Every structure is written in C-alpha cells, then in structure tokens.
Amino acid sequence: MKNIQLNNGLTIPQIGFGTAAIGQWQQDDQHVEDVVLSAIEAGYRHLDTASVYGNERSVGQAIAESGIPREEFFITTKVWDTEQGEHSTQQALQRSLQRLQLDYVDLYLVHWPNPEKTQKTWQAMETLHAQGKIRSLGLSNFRKSDIQQILDFAEIKPVYNQLEIHPYLQQQELVRYCEAQDIAVSCWSPLGSGSWSGVAIEEKPVSDRVIKQIADKYQVSTAQVILKWDLQKERIIIPKSETLKNIQSNLNPGNFTLTDEDIAAIDALDKGHRYGADPDTALQGNLNIKVPD
C-alpha cells in the first residue's frame, strides 16, 4: 500500500478505513469491533475515528485484539465542536486515548472549524504534541479562511485537511490552496456519502453514467473508478464499508490506470453538491450534538 509523506516528514497510508456510523450513528459494540477487526485483517493499518462517532472503545478493542504492534498502525481521531478550547481539548484527547487504549494518536484533527476557539484549541494541540500524545496535527472541513487563521499563529503547521470530496463535490479551489500550502488533502465520503445520508444510490456518483462507462472499459466497479481517481490525484481516502467484499476492494482498487481523458471526464462531473454538512453553517447544529461518555 502506498504511503503519502506529510509536511512533518511522517508518512500516512494513502487508503484508510473510515469508521463513522458503523451499524448506526454512535453505535459502540461487538458489531463495530468485528467490522474494524475485519478491516485490519484485510490489511488496513490507517483507521479514522472521532470522539463524536461514539465508537472509539470498539476501535481500540479491535486494535488490541488484532495482536498487531501499535507502531504498525496510523490512528486518527478528532476533537468535536463542544470539546474545543484550551483545557477542554486537552481533556478531550485524554478521554479519546483512554477509550482507544492508546498512549498517543498519529493524527489529531479539529473536526469542524469554530473560529472563535481555533487558536486556543490549536495551541492546546501543540502542547499535547510536545507531550508526545499526538504525532501530527490536522484539520477537518476547514475552509481557506480557517486555514489562514491558523497559519498566522501556529508554531506547528497542519499536515492534513479532511474534506467531503467526491465527483459531485470536488472543492477544487480549496484543494489547490491546501496543496500549495503543503497540506495533504483527505477525502471523507469519497464515494458520495454512506447509507447514513438517506440518499438513494441512484443519486450518488457510483451510479453516474460517465463513471459507469469508465468502469465498463476497465471491467471494474464504479467505486473502484472513483477511488482510483482520488489516488491518482495523490489524495488520501478513507472509505467505509461493513461488507468484507467492499472492505477488501476499497483497499485494492485494481491494477488499472485512468487516462488523462478519464480523469477529465470525472472532473467535469463537479456539481458543488454536498451530502454532508456545510462548514459555513454547521457549527450551531454541531454544538447540539453530544460526545457520548
């Protein structure tokens, strides 16, 4: 599996396993643990979770039960909007580490921008980094203005920005800005949202006529075409699945290579269409969502 080098010199597996809403939102039980263990057994070493997902205990238990040395994993978790701030961020990470049964995480993300608290949150993360509890600091759903705010004061530069990116929402200007700042771009919901969204599969990029034509040409699935499109653009992807077949195929999207014409055809599908929340309006709703104990 290919690794991407981050701006701090560390590397991250280009394909990770997303854990949001395995089973149901904030489900944390044997089913979640079994799914994550299946992903580990399939070869995933990059696991992406968050305090608000409510399943860090199951993710941590799967890591422990796998018998694989800690240093072989790349573990990402996130500080939720209600946890942001100087002392609360430090406490939030400590709770996440306890649930995950880990001494450190490889990457800690600010889950959504909250500009009023960004500086204190980030500086708390820098302190935790100095204590060895975080190896890399990053962002999720951050806009250009949010990133510029951090770059004005940060002693440690963000390595990563995790965004909703799929063929129908490509955020090309923001991606170019991140790349210019040497901030790696990661895609959540790279296939165009999961079952949690309630969106019919016929309305998702995996059902798009153009992508189907490309998939037919290479005799692969439309999901593999979309993931390959991201991989060839040097983006990090964190697809989620609960079926072993898709868990395996997402990790191994096939030996084909998309042509420049294929990539241009997918690039042309951009509609600016979000399935998830918009960082321009998400904060107030997010503050009403609690992190489970």
Say how far residue 218 (Cα) sits from the centre of its chain.
27
Q: CA 286, 21, 143, 266: dihedral to nearest 10 degrees?
A: -150
d(CA 259, CA 217): 11
* The pLDDT value given to residue 198: 72
The CATH code of domain 11-198+233-253+272-286 reads 3.20.20.100
d(CA 281, CA 160): 22
pTM, full prediction: 0.95
d(CA 289, CA 293): 13
Residuewise pLDDT in 10s, the chain (293 residues): 799 999 999 999 999 999 999 999 999 999 999 999 999 999 999 999 999 999 999 999 999 999 999 999 999 999 999 999 999 999 999 999 999 999 999 999 999 999 999 999 999 999 999 999 999 999 999 999 999 999 999 999 999 999 999 999 999 999 999 999 999 999 999 998 665 567 788 889 999 999 999 999 999 999 999 999 999 999 999 999 999 999 999 999 999 999 999 999 999 999 999 999 999 999 999 999 999 98
Q: What type of residue is 207? A: S
CB 21 within 8 A of CB 53: yes
Using CA atoms, how far residue 210 sits from 77, 165, 169, 269, in Å, is 35, 18, 16, 8
d(CA 84, CA 241): 29
* The pLDDT value given to residue 210: 98
* The pLDDT value given to residue 195: 57
Look-up of token digits 């901030």: 183
CB 149 within 8 A of CB 115: yes
Residue 129: HSE in the Cβ half-sphere, 13 Å Cα cutoff: 21
- Is residue 53 part of the annotated active site? The answer reads yes
* The pLDDT value given to residue 55: 97
Q: CA 188, 271, 232, 259: dihedral to nearest 10 degrees?
A: 150
Using CA atoms, how far residue 230 sits from 161, 180, 199, 253, in Å, is 15, 18, 22, 11
Catalytic residue among 44, 53, 108, 168: 53
To which H or E segment does residue 185 belong? strand 184-188
* The pLDDT value given to residue 197: 63
Pairing of strands 3-5, 11-13: antiparallel
206 closest CA partner among 173, 160, 241: 241
CB 208 within 8 A of CB 217: no
Binding-site residues for substrate sit at 111
Burial class (CB in 10 A: 0-12, 13-18, 19+), 35: buried
Q: Domain ranges in the chain? A: 11-198+233-253+272-286
CB 164 within 8 A of CB 197: no
* The pLDDT value given to residue 194: 61
